[in-house]
Structure 1
Amino acid sequence: MEMHGVITAHEPHHHHACEMSGKAFDLAVEYNLTEQGTTTTLCQNAETTFHDLPPKIMVVILYPMVIWMSKKQYCDSLRKLKALCEQKAE
């Protein structure tokens, strides 16, 4: 699925946000980083807006599988992000 996006906020080390639009749905995502001593906490908030009724119905019917797949993809993405954040600068 092709999507087009725009970065809507960029505060290095604190806040990042983007909005993406596709044929079936729009997605708005925010990332907030909070320093906590020697560690950093990353919080993500995402809102999905479907354009048509069929995708909404599919999500309701397939909700358990969608949640499981979303959680797995989210965990994989966070693992990759953690690795990128912890690697040494070249």
Structure 2
Amino acid sequence: MRLTALTAAMVMTAGAAWAEEKTLDIGVSDALTGGGAVYGLPQTNAVKLAAKEINASGGIKVGEDTYMLNVIAYDDKANPTEASNAVRKL
């Protein structure tokens, strides 16, 4: 009985460790609306596509840890004040 309980506890603990996914946030501030969107949208989409491909291949290994990428994109509307605000958020 004790062995069964101990084995079950070890399996549940190991499962919890495997379930924990570490993420690395990648911040993007680009013009996603307005006149600058013609440049900003492709740039942001390129970052998102790269992150998706890296995550699909298993993420980024740093030492013993593996991180999945998470892209956080803010619309700076090609406006210096908005860009400054976006960078502060990141």
Do these two structures clear the TM 0.5 threshold for a shared fold by scoring above it?
Answer: no
Q: Which has the higher contact order (CA 8 A, sep 6+)?
A: 2
**Structure 1 length-normalised TM:** 0.28
**Larger radius of gyration, structure 1 or 2?**
2
**Structure 2 length-normalised TM:** 0.28
